[in-house]
Amino acid sequence: MVEQDYYDVLGVQRTADPEVIKAAYRKLAKEHHPDRHNGCSEREAQFKAINEAYDCLKDPQKRAAYDRFGKAAFQNGGGGDPFGGAGFESFSDIFSSIFGEFADRQNARANPARGADLRYDLELSLEEAFAGTEANISIEALAECDTCEGRGCTNTADCARTCGTCGGAGRVRAQQGFFVVERGCPTCRGSGEVIADPCHSCEGEGRALKRRTLSVKIPAGVDEGTRIRVAGEGESGVRNAPSGDLYIFVHMKRHAIYAREGTTLVAECPVTFTTAALGGSISLPGIDGQPVEIKIPSGIQSGEQLRHRGAGMSVLNGRGRGDLVARVLVETPTRLSKEQKKLLEEFRATETGDECPAAKSFFGRIRDAIGG
């Protein structure tokens, strides 16, 4: 079973500050709370994962342990102790492990810096979100240098030399009393090497700023805030190091007829008071291009909803469709001809009060309240 990374669960970068993590947690916890999804087991599991991730990342000590050892830091009875679950029996084991790791790195060259992740905000129409689409997006980011093919130098025979600052380890140490602090080498940026003859186009980084166009497949059923990860399409790494990822965030355009509530489409449908009284039907343009006929029963009241099963949005990563809901709004005429007014007056003369039971009940309560 593949374990979810806590940062991926909350949708934040590993360098995110506490306020960003807190904001992401609040948004996701509200979205996936089981009470909002009628006890859905999948939503409940996601909600638990969100809380587990936040419980770790909100605590500086737990977060530091997780960054170093992953979830292994909290296994085998580790609890809140950042070293308890990492297999250490005593402080001497911790000391030996940390300093032994430093010693091993002295002669090992670390990989150059991985490219940064990128974000792209994509706006879709409701029809595109329903059917899915192939989106062409244009991004400007650091990409492999064409001149040196990502090597960072022009002379292939004598391209890189061992960094004199870190001795090829890619990291440097600074001792402060009893403790030793290790960080990436500022001279070689963690590669362990410096370029002897830097490329004039990229100044030795092996990458340059370019604009490129990508074709990305957007699945059917995406909604506002859906995040799509495109692996390896972020910024190129330094001197052929791995590239970062591209994250596409979906935003929905406002539709002329429908409002969206998950997989349900809602349309506000004004009808005449005669249609509401006598019954009838209305035809709505379906999101799939097929008309949807909604039958209106006689005596319907303003605000009542009529549901048409299976005429809503596609289910993301699933089968079937949601529903289409017509919310009826009974409209009172504002412009009447003399003949229409005469007919309505004749109708009013025939009213007994039983035609509108809610109004009869309401005014009956008023009479009772005033003792009439």
Label residue 346 left, alpha or beta by phi (over 0 means left) and psi (-120 to 50 means alpha).
alpha
Do the annotations mark residue 148 as ligand-binding? yes
Could you give the 3-state DSSP secondary structure of residue 167?
coil
From residue 190, alpha-carbon distances to 102, 183, 198 in Å are: 14, 9, 17
Maximum CA extent, the chain: 107
Q: Which DSSP string corresponds to 63-103?
A: HHHHHHHGGGGGTTTTTT-TTTTTT--SHHHHHHHHHHHHH
CA atoms within 13 A on the CB side of 183: 5
Q: CA-CA distance, 113 to 237, in Å (whole number)?
A: 6
Measured distance CA(294)–CA(292) in Å, rounded: 6
166 marked ligand binding residue:
yes
Establish whether 199 is an annotated binding residue: yes
Q: Is 269 annotated as a binding residue?
A: no
DSSP notation for 289-307: SSEEEEEE-TTPPTT-EEE
Q: Which residues contact 214 (CB under 8 A, 6 or more apart)?
A: 136, 137, 138, 139, 230, 233, 246
Give 210's contacts (C-beta < 8 A, 6+ positions apart): 140, 141, 142, 143
Q: Is 202 marked as a binding-site residue?
A: yes
Cα separation values, 47 from 111, 190, 314, Å: 36, 38, 23
Query: Among 232, 192, 54, which Cα is nearest to 110's?
Result: 192
Measure the CA–CA gap between 74 and 213, rounded to whole angstroms: 43
Beta-carbon contacts of residue 60 (< 8 Å; ≥ 6 apart): none
Tell me the HSE value of 90 on the side-chain side, using a 13 A CA sphere.
Answer: 1
- Determine whether the annotation assigns residue 356 to a binding site: no
Q: Which residues contribute to the annotated binding site?
A: 145, 148, 163, 166, 185, 188, 199, 202
Binding-site residues for Zn(2+), in ranges, read 145, 148, 163, 166, 185, 188, 199, 202
